[in-house]
């Protein structure tokens, strides 16, 4: 099956592969950006960001010279902002340590910030023709079904078996096209649910198809239940400006600007916690209404709570990391996306709870 797999897969890919902007480029930097940006992001959603990001930072040097806020602003709305911060650090490392040239070998690429086996293999094989595998979730699903790989192929011995098979399959000629073909097959034909087996070019050699149970592969460890965490945020305005704070440099939404507030300690009221957040900024506050509910899911937790309209008083001089933001600030700053929706929808407050003080 090893040789025949690439012999069947590559012609299929040339005929049926989607015509996507990032596949038309041979620029290693553009390929690197696409591979980082499209991790955990649907292609249809990610393509506009990819094109805007490259228009904003057309070279690795442009990205390296940008500020962190500029990079986060270009990434705003994509989520998983650690990818943006790592890509920025990678650009700086490429300029500082590699004379501005993207490393050609996967082993060198893996030394860059946030670059793992998949991204290193994808860039090295697609941009430079190195014979290395690039196994994303789509490719892993295809291989697990073809070779009937038991166990959780995302970790441990099952993952090592998967990668050994993937390494063996990559052909000498055009390894980048092969890796992309395998991923494309998983994305469009060998789908997680309701795979389109009759349209698959390698079904005759597929163990799961022969058994009539493709849905049995791959197997993953059951996900832990995502906890629900209470949050509250304050929407405070003064003289046409809105109060924003910069989130810490590490953790959820690191470096983004947003409304003051956050996660609530157990058994503390939303109003009391918000007063504390604002007191730390030198402000006193009372709620005057409800701007709306918060319902926001991350990969490992879910936020539920409320954004309150707040009347704040106190010194106009705020500590570092907090500003009364103008309309221009709202355009240039990277803002927590669901907070931006509240900012763009500002209007008369709805009836809220009694004032906390």
Residues 230, 252: Cα–Cα separation, whole Å: 15
Query: How is residue 204 written in tokens?
Result: 């005759």
Contact 336, 294 (CB under 8 A): no
**Burial zone of 309 (CB within 10 Å; 0-12 exposed, 13-18 middle, 19+ buried):** buried
- Marked catalytic residue, from 35, 76, 130, 184: 35
263 is catalytic: no
- 73-93 burial, b if ≥16 CB within 10 A, otherwise e? bbbbebbebebbbbbbbbbbb
Question: In the beta sheet, which residues pair with residue 290?
Answer: 308, 350
Residues 6+ apart with CB under 8 A from 353: 271, 287, 290
- 96-125 burial, b if ≥16 CB within 10 A, otherwise e? eeeeeebbeebeebeebebbeebbbbbbbb
Residues 185, 9: Cα–Cα separation, whole Å: 8
Residues 6+ apart with CB under 8 A from 120: 106, 107, 109, 110, 132
Question: What is the set of active-site residues?
Answer: 35
């Amino acid at each position: 099956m090893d040789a025949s797999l690439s012999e069947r897969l590559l012609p299929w890919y040339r005929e049926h592969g989607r015509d996507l902007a990032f596949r038309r480029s041979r620029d290693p930097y553009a390929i690197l950006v696409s591979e980082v940006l499209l991790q955990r992001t649907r292609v249809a959603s990610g393509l506009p960001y990819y094109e805007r990001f490259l228009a904003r930072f057309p070279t690795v040097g442009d990205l390296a010279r940008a500020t962190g806020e500029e990079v986060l602003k270009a990434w705003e709305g994509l989520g998983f902002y650690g990818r943006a911060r790592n890509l920025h650090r990678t650009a700086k490392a490429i300029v500082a340590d590699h004379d501005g040239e993207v490393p050609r070998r996967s082993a060198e690429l893996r030394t860059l910030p946030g670059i793992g086996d998949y991204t290193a293999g994808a860039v090295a094989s697609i941009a430079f023709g190195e014979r290395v595998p690039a196994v994303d979730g789509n490719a892993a699903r295809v291989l697990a079904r073809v070779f009937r790989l038991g166990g959780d192929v995302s970790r441990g011995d099952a993952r090592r078996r998967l990668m050994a098979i993937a390494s063996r399959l990559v052909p000498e000629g055009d390894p980048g096209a092969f890796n992309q073909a395998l991923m494309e097959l998983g994305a469009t034909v060998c789908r997680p649910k309701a795979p389109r087996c009759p349209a698959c070019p390698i079904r005759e050699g597929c163990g799961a198809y022969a058994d009539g149970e493709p849905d049995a592969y791959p197997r993953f460890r059951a996900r832990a239940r995502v906890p629900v965490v209470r949050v509250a945020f304050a929407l405070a305005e003064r003289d046409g400006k809105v109060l924003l704070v910069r989130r810490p440099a590490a953790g959820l939404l690191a470096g983004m600007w947003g409304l003051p507030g956050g996660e609530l300690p157990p058994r503390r009221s939303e109003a009391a916690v918000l007063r504390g957040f604002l007191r730390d900024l030198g402000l006193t506050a009372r709620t005057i209404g409800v701007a709306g509910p918060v319902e926001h899911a991350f990969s490992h937790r879910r936020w539920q709570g409320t954004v309150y309209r707040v009347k704040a008083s106190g010194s106009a001089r705020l500590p570092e990391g907090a500003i009364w933001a103008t309309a221009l600030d709202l355009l240039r700053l990277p803002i927590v996306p669901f907070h931006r929706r509240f900012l763009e929808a500002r209007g008369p407050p709805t009836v809220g709870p009694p004032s906390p003080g």
